[in-house]
Structure 1
Amino acid sequence: MGNPYEGCRPECVLSSDCPTNKACMRNKCGDPCPGVCGKNAECAVINHVPTCTCLPGHVGDPFGRCVPALPPPTEKTAVDPCSPTPCGPYSQCRNVNDQAVCSCLPEYTGTPPNCKPECVVSSECPQNRACHKFKCANPCAGTCGLGARCEVINHNPICSCPERMTGDPFTRCHEIPPPPTRTETRPIDPCRPSPCGPNSECRAVGDQPSCSCKANFVGSPPNCRPECVVNTDCSSSLACITEKCRDPCPGSCGFNAECRVQNHIPVCTCQSGFTGDAFTECSRIPPPKPEAKPNPCDPSPCGQNAQCRDGICSCLPEYQGDPYQGCRPECTMNTDCSPTKACINLHCVDPCPGTCGQNALCDIVNHIPTCSCPQGHEGDPFTLCRPKRPEPPLNPCQPSPCGPNSACRVNNGVAVCSCLPGLVGSPPSCRPECVVSAECALTQACLNNKCVDPCPGTCGVAAKCQVVNHNPICSCDSGHTGDPFTRCYPIPKVSPPPTPADPCRPSPCGPNAACRVVKGSPACSCLEPYVGAPPNCRPECTISPECPPTKACLNQRCRDPCPGSCGQNALCTVINHGAVCSCSPGHTGDPFRGCIPTPAPPPPKPTPREPCSPSPCGANAICRVENQVAVCQCLPEYRGNPYESCRPECLSNSECPGDRACIRNKCQDPCPGTCGINAECLTRNHVPVCTCLRGYQGDAFRVCSRVIG
C-alpha cells in the first residue's frame, strides 16, 4: 500500500503495527495460532505472541502433544517423578533411579525449564531472516515471481522488478515495451495507457489526457493516495481509521470520562470530581467525611500477621508472638514443636491419630510416630496387630532361677525357691551355717559346715582343752606332762632330761593347714586349694559375694558361671555373680532355651517427599530447600512473584518506553543494524525510522548518496 511514485509499504513491518491479537506474518496482520500448538492444546494470542496451554484435564508439552492427566497414584503405587513433568515446555523427562532427569527436545536450545525454539516470532531473528517453523530462515525462497528480485528488510521479503522491467513482482516481471509509434491514420487514446498513476482517473480532453484523483483519495496525479495508511500519516491528534484521519475519541471512553488524543491514541481520564475505570464508567467521588478523626491504624503500627484495632495490635487467630514486631504460626517445621508433637498445618499436634493399625501402640520419637504391636500381640503394626497364639506352658524351674544350694518346686505355675536342708539364708544366697571357722564364734570351730565346740575327743587322757581363735589347744595340767593329745601323767620327781619333742605334734597350724619343722620350729602353710593364713586356712569361697562381681562360687571355687547357662544363639554376661542370658543381635526368643533369628521388620513408612518435588514454584522460577522448606526464586533476568509466575522484562513493544522495542524479551534500541550507509535512525513508537543524513538522498535502508549540485 502507499504511493507507488514515492514508495509502497506492506500492511505491517513489525507485529506492533497490528492489533494485539494479531501478528505480522509476511507483511500481513494475521492470526499466529494455526499450526503452532500440539494435539489437545489451545492457543491464545497475548501481545502478538501465540501462547499454547494444555486443555483442562490434560498435561504434557502444549507445543507437541497433551495427554489426559493420570489419576494421582495410590500410596502403594510407585510415584513416577516424570508425571506430571517438572521439566517445563519444549523438554523431555526421563526416570533415572526414581529421579526426574530433564533435557531439551532436539533442535531446542537452553536448559529446562527454559527450553525454547530458535524463534517464535520473526523479531527474535536477525533482520535478514524470518521465523519459519520455529527456525530463522531466509523468507525469500519461493516468495517472488519470475524475473523479480527479493530483498529482506526487517524480516520481511520485499519483491520488486529490476530496472527497465515491469509487472507484478509476486507473479512475473517483463521488459517495458517500447511506446507505440504514432500514425496518421489511427487516432491514439491519450489515456491508454493511463499516465495518471494509481488511484486516479484519466479523461481525454481533445488529444490530451486530463488526470484527477479518485474519490476518497488526496493529492494530485500521479501521487494520488489515501488520506492515511497508518497512524503516523496523520497528525498526532488524529488516528488512521479506514484510511481517514479521524478523531479516535468518540466511543472510546466510559460515562463521566473525558478523552484526549496522545500520539494518535485515545487516552481516557475521569472528569474532575469523578473516579473509577475511565474506559467503562466513572462515578462521583463521595464528599469527605467532616472532621474525620485520624485512624490510629492507618498506617498500621502492627507487624506481619497481626491486626490493628483502635491502635492496639494483636496477633491473628492461630498466630502468636509480638504483634508489633510480627506474629508467626505455632510452627513451620517439626523442630518448632516438642519432641512428642509434629508440625501439621502450622500447628503442633499429636501425629499418632490415624497412623497405626488396629490394636497397635503409637510412640512418638523425635516428632515421628512409631507403631508397634503391644505385648502379647503380633502382626503389622501399620495394619493390624492380633493376639499371639498361646504357647505350651514352660517349666518355670527349667532352668532353675533359685541359684546354688537351693531347691525349686512349681506351685500354681510359679517357681518357688527354698534352701536345701541344713543350709541357711534365702535363695539365691543359700549357704551352710559355716564354711570356715571365722564364721563361728571364737570358742567354736566349723566342722561339717556346723559351728561346734572343737574340744570333745580332741585331747588325750588327763589333758585339758581350751579353744583359742576357733582352734582346740590341748595342754597338760600343772604338775603333769606328756602328750596332751594322747595322755597326761604326773611328772616324776626324778626324771632324766626329756627328749626333744616334735614341734608339729600336736600341730599348732589349725585345720586345713600343713605343718613342717624348720630349724626345730613349726612352719605352717595352707593346704591346696585353701587360701588364707594358718590357723585360718579356708576354701577360696563358700558364697558368691566372696568372689569378684564377674565370678560365682561353684564347688568352693570362684569360677565363670556362664558355661552351660544360656541356650543356642544367646550371649552370656555376668552381673553381680549371676549369669544373665540375652539373645545375640538379630535373634529373639528365650535366651535360656534357645534364640531364633528375628523376623524381617515391616517395611518402613515412605519417607517424606522432597519439598521441591513437585515444585511449588510458578513458571520461570527455581526451587531450593532451606531448613526443609521449599523457597522459590525467579530465574536470572526474570521478575515477579516466584510462587505464582516470573516473567521477562517484556513480551511486547507496549511494555517498553517509546524509544525502545521488545527484542528477545528485553527492551532494547531497535536501531543498530537497521539503517543503511549515511543514514540516521530514530525510534518512534517502538519502530525504527531511517532517514538519509542532511545533504544525502537515496534508500535509507541501504545507502544514501550525497546530493550533487
Structure 2
Amino acid sequence: MHATFSRELPKADGPRCCVGSTELGRRLPRDRSVRPAPTAVMFRLIALSLLVGVALGKPQGDPCHPSPCGPYTTCSVGGNGAAVCRCLQGYFPQPNTIVGCSAQCVNAQDCAHDQQCKHGKCVNSCVDSPCGRGADCRAQSHRAVCSCPHGYVGDPLISCTPKPEERILQRIEVDPCTQRSACGVNAECRNVGGRPVCSCLPGHAGDPYSQCRRGECAGDDECPSNRACRNYRCVSPCDGSCGHNADCEVRSRVAICKCLSGYVGDPFTSCRRYNPNELCEPSPCGANTDCRVQNDRPICTCKPSFQGNPLSGCRHECESDYECAASQSCRDYRCQSTCSPGACGEGAICEAINHRASCKCPEHYLGNPSTRCYPECTQQSECPNHQACVNLRCVDPCAGVCGINADCRATNHKAICSCPKTMTGDPFVRCRPFEKVDLCQPNPCGTNARCTPGHDRSGKERPVCTCPPGFLGDPLHHCRQGECLTSEECPSNRACFENTCMNPCTRLHCGSNANCEVRNRVAVCSCPAGYSGDPLHNCYANPQRGSRYYKK
C-alpha cells in the first residue's frame, strides 16, 4: 500500500482540488479484500502532512482552529506549521481526511467474499472459530460454513465425532505430521483433521511441501530506514511506486510520491504539466474566499471582512446587531463595542443598552452628552461672588463652615464667620451669650496693657485699658516697661536711664574737687570757688596772695 497525494479531487466537471482539500487517497487493488492496516494509514497521513499546507488567512494562528479535517479525524500541527489530519483508530480516509474518515466497512458487502464486517473492520469469517469441536470452517460468501471432516459425523456447529466403524481405526492412526515426508525443508506441519497442513517458518518463503528458503527479512524493522520488507526481501519502497513525471522519497519506509514542480495529477499514476492559474479556475475554495497560487499550490483565504474556514466557506461575523452581544453592535460586518471611542461626546459617560450607546453627562456636569460635557466651574471667577468653586461645582461656601450659633456671610467666594452682636466666642467653633467678663476676653487693649470691665460716660459697659505700674505708653496700643523712654519724659533735674528717671550726676564721674549739678536734665561738672582746673579730671585750689605761686 502507498500514501497517495493528489492535487486533484473528482468533481462533476472533472478532477480538481486545492491544497486546502488535499486528497489522501488509498490506492487499493480491485480485490476489496485488501484493506490498509491502521499503521499504514498513519504513515500515509504523516507523510502527506509534510507536503500539504492549509492557508486559513491567519499565518500566525493555529491551523487546526477551526479544524480543516473531516469527520472521525484528529488535527495536529506538523513540523512545518501545516495542519496534519489523521484518522481515528480503526477509521480510514474516504477518500481523504479533509472530506473525512469512515470505518473500513459498514456491511459484509464492503469486504472480500471470505470476510465479514465486524466492528467496522473486515475479518476472516472463521477468525472467531464459530464451528463446533472437531469441525472444519470454510469462509465463503461472507459467512462461516462449518462441516465435519471426512470420517466424522455430528452437528458441525456443536461437535464432530469419528464414525463408529472408524473409531477403532482412529485409535491406531498415526499423526501425519510425524512422517518425515509430510512437509518440506524449513516448513512446519499442523494436523488438521488427520491431514498434514504445511506452512513456511517465519522469515522463510517457498513451497512448504518441498522447500522454504530463509528470506532477507521478516518485517520492515529488519531493513534499513530507506528500505521495506517485501516478500522477505529489503527493497526500496519507491521501486515502481510512483507514476510518470513524479518524484519519490522514502520516509519511515513509506514511498512518498509527489508531482514534479509545474506538474499536477496523481503522482502514483501520472503527472502532467499545468498552467498555475488553472489551480484556481474554477476556485476550489469555499464561498466568499480568494484563491491564489503559491509554490504550485492553491492557497485559499477569506475575503476582507469575512472569516471562517476558507476551504468550506467564509461568512461575515455579523450582518445585524442582534447577532452580537447586547453590549456590541454590528459595524463593517464585525461585532464591535457599542461604546467605542466617538460614540458619545467629550467627557460623557457611555452605557451600552440593547446594542445602542446611551450617553449622559457625569453628575454636576453641564452640556450635551452627544457633543461635549463640561464641569460647572474650574476656578472661582466662573461662579457668582456669593458662591465658591468646590469639586467643579459652584456652591455656597458657608455650608458647614462656621461654628454653632455663628453667622456666615459669603463674600468674594469666601465664607466670613462672625458671632451675632449679643453673643461672643470663636465663630468657627461656637458663639455664646455675652457676659460682662467677656469685655476683656479676649483682651482688646494694647500690648502689656490691662483690661478691666467699666463704663463709658454714657454708662454703657465697655473695657477700660490701663498700663500697669512700671509701664508707660498708650494702653490702647502698647505699654512699655519703665518710667521713660527719653529724658524729656523726666523732670528737669532727672534724666532717663534704662527706662528710669534718675539724677544724671550719679552716672557721671567728675574730677577730684569738682562739683556736679543738673542743668536741664544734663549733668555738669565745675570747680568750686577758689579752685581752678579741668573739672572732668582735677580741680586745684588757687594760690594765696603773697604766695610763691601767686601771679597777678
* The two structures share one fold, judged by TM-score above 0.5: no
After TM superposition, the score normalised by the length of structure 1 is: 0.17
- The structure with the greater share of residues assigned to helix is 2
- Relative contact order, higher structure (CA 8 A, sep 6+): 2
